Amino acid sequence: MEAGKVWLVGAGPSDPGLFTRKGMEVLAQAETVVYDALVGQEILELIPETAELINVGKRSSHHIMKQEQINQVLVQKAREGKRVVRLKGGDPFLFGRGGEELELLTAEHIAYEVVPGVTSALSVPAYQGIPVTHRDYCSSVHIITGHKRAGQSYDIDFEALVRTGGTLVFLMGVASLGDICRGLLAAGMEPETPAALLMQGTTAAQRRIVSTVAGLEEEVQRQGAMMPAIIVVGKVCGLAREFSWYEKQPLGGVKVLLTRPRQLISETARKLREKGAEVLELPAIRTEKIPENHRLREALQNLKDYRWIVFTSPTGVRIFFEEMAENEVDHRSLAYARFAVIGTGTAKELRARGFYPDLMPEVFAGAHLGEALRKACGPKERILIPRAALGTPELTAPLEGLLVEDIPTYDTKYETSRFVDIREEFETGKTRYALFTSASTVRGFAAAAGEMDFSQVRAVCIGKQTEAAAKELGMQTWVAKRATMDSLVERLEELVADKS
């Protein structure tokens, strides 16, 4: 058996944009992933479907698996010949106990690599508008573990920390906030020194409580703390209000669940993140090409007989041209064909193949496409419609009596997330909106969510058919002005601005 290898990978604070390129490349090839509770949901969704998942659940003092057991798991899986990724929040060597894991790997002669991650000690303050160093305020920053064993006192030299005059960042110290503040005051720190508790940093739920060293504990007790959180002490905390930027973005502070077929999801997620949203990418459906599709193969051999070829989705375009290539059908066979598409996304996919649509309805819906095609098509012109097996009959109803070959080319399968509890997301208000791009994604969402009160879902829909599917479940619904992804994002921006 070929020897396995372990990668210690820092996942950063939560925002997937802060996950390093090397980290993503290593994770994409993982066969076993051993992950902590502090790894962001969006990063967990990047784990390959084929990978074995081992949740060790480390968060503060609550562990599913003890560190010694985790070390043994890494050795065991590597000896099985696996590519093992030990995925940690933040950086593996900054209070991540990565050194302890390497001790055993080294002793057992297991190959390993370390992929550093962006630490919350720097990134979380940055997302809250707090520069940990500033020439007018301080010239050093010190990162301290705030964790201490139960029943023991701190072994921190508070006097030395106070003498530095630098910014102090305490990780894992929320439970001991009072002890930390009292230790700093007893060591001579000015009571009015600014201090802050920064919670759930780099996520839509991030929040800060800014006070003073003398008043922070009381203020946190009054407002309440959320985990995970870090403590920052120093004059730079006073800049948070002036320099804050994250929540000022058009979709800052908004968490969105995006449902699209797995192959089409990332571009829209990128647009949402550019505007400040936290995005849960939920591939509520996946598409699978129908194997041994004899009807499609026969149609491909006789393409010259069709005057119109109709595409109702980007997936339909992709699979059609893939089948042409697999069956060695020359593109010149399409010389006399005209193309009809249902919307701009489908048109874009067609143009990427070197062809341009001849017909696209003003309203991007099956019935409107069918009506437009009826008017454009002669009575003896043959029409080929390669599309989903569950394609809407609204397209073909207006074409009754014409020479139509409606061929299923792919099936739609519903998926569930391994890491996202959809019901909890909406019932607790963590996620405010769901974006739906088709009626099938609404149904896939419902199948993945199971039993829940769908009236709690604010559904932003790409068109009327999608809205009808969402209304049927009792969701609150809004529709994009145009059936495009850009318009869908714009509609969400309007709702956020109106606080809908």
Q: Count of CB atoms within 10 A of residue 421's CB?
A: 15
Could you tell me whether strands 111-115 and 5-10 are parallel, antiparallel, or unpaired per DSSP bridges? parallel
The 3-state DSSP class for residue 430 equals: coil
- The domains located in the chain, with CATH, are 5-118 (3.40.1010.10), 122-248 (3.30.950.10), 255-287+415-498 (3.40.50.10090), 289-413 (3.40.50.10090)
CA distance 296 to 303: 10
pLDDT value for 288? 86
Active site residue 172: yes
pLDDT value for 284? 63
What DSSP character marks residue 290? P
* CA atoms within 13 Å, Cβ hemisphere of 399: 28
Dihedral (Cα; 64, 66, 67, 69), 10-degree rounding: -100
Overall pTM surpassing 0.85 (yes/no): no
Which entry of 15, 77, 82, 172 is annotated as an active-site residue? 172
CA distance 274 to 4: 38
CA distance 310 to 371: 13
| CA quadruple 331, 334, 338, 339: dihedral sign | negative
pLDDT value for 11? 96
Which entry of 15, 58, 324, 430 is annotated as an active-site residue? 58
The 3-state DSSP class for residue 9 equals: strand
CB 355 within 8 A of CB 338: no
The pLDDT profile of the chain, 500 residues, written as one tens digit per residue, is: 677 999 999 999 999 999 999 999 999 999 999 999 889 999 998 999 899 999 998 655 556 788 899 999 999 999 999 999 999 999 999 988 899 999 999 999 999 999 999 999 999 999 999 999 999 999 899 999 877 666 666 778 999 999 999 999 999 888 889 999 999 999 999 999 999 999 999 999 999 999 999 999 999 999 999 999 999 999 999 999 999 999 999 999 999 999 866 655 578 888 999 999 999 988 767 788 999 899 999 999 999 999 999 999 888 999 999 999 999 999 999 998 999 998 888 999 999 999 999 999 987 778 889 999 999 998 889 999 999 887 778 899 999 889 999 999 998 877 777 888 899 999 999 999 999 988 888 988 998 888 899 999 999 999 888 999 999 999 999 999 988 889 999 999 999 998 87
| Cα distances (Å, whole numbers) of residue 374 to 203, 263, 299, 307, 464 | 49, 31, 21, 13, 21
